[in-house]
Amino acid sequence: MELLGSRGMPRAGRLAAVATAAAATLVAGLGVAALANDGDFATSEIASYALAHFAPGAFGGQCIVFAERVVDAVYRAGGVAHGFPPAGGPQGYYTAFARSGGQLVGEAGPGGYAAALALAQRGDIVQLSPRPAASAGPWTDPGGGHQHTAILLGPASGGAEVIDSNWDLHLRVLIHPLADVVADAVRWRLEIAVWGYGIPGP
């Protein structure tokens, strides 16, 4: 699948893209409490916060709620209020991140996962969800339950791990290989999207 938007962008270009995306969101009038360029923190702090505050086996709730709680907490630690819109509706799982100031780092369907993850770094959010067709249509869950959200603990290359909740449907926090997430995407032919918040590193 063709890569869209900022997916082919050099890592150094992500910061400017965050500000551009935030401005576009503001103009669209979506009423988000705070946007990505308001976050004066390194993207990697999202992973650091998750590791410092959630031990493996601790209750984390649903995967998307866990990731959102961590991102919100990092903003809050920097004195900035941040929130996510409800993730309901056929597109809500994806648009909750787009509408909260997330910068789309990479996105691709089956056969394109490596390209989608190429610029992913520590603290980025990795999402899995189905699409009804291999097109630029909305993400949706047709009832199979095959969606997931995880926080990346290192660059996608080189055996990176993620921290997430509810991976095994037990609402508990787990640290495990990113390869598990990619394998699930392959198994269920899901889309992968990578979202960045804060100030990306080199």
Domain boundaries, the chain: 5-24+36-196
- List of E strands, the chain: 103-108, 125-129, 148-152, 161-165, 173-177, 191-196
The pLDDT of residue 188: 84
Q: What is the 3-state secondary structure (H, E, C) of 84-118?
A: CCCCCCCCHHHHHHHCCCCEEEEEECCCCHHHHHC
The pLDDT of residue 38: 56
The pLDDT of residue 129: 83
C-alpha to C-alpha distance for 77 and 48, rounded to whole angstroms: 12
Amino acid in position 43: T
- Residue 164: strand pairing partners: 150, 174
Give me the tens of pLDDT residue by residue for the chain, a chain 202 residues long: 222 233 234 334 444 443 333 333 332 333 333 333 456 899 999 999 999 999 999 999 999 999 999 999 999 999 999 999 887 665 677 788 888 999 999 998 888 999 999 999 999 999 988 765 444 455 555 455 578 999 999 998 878 999 999 998 899 999 999 999 999 898 888 889 999 999 987 6
pTM of the entire predicted model = 0.78
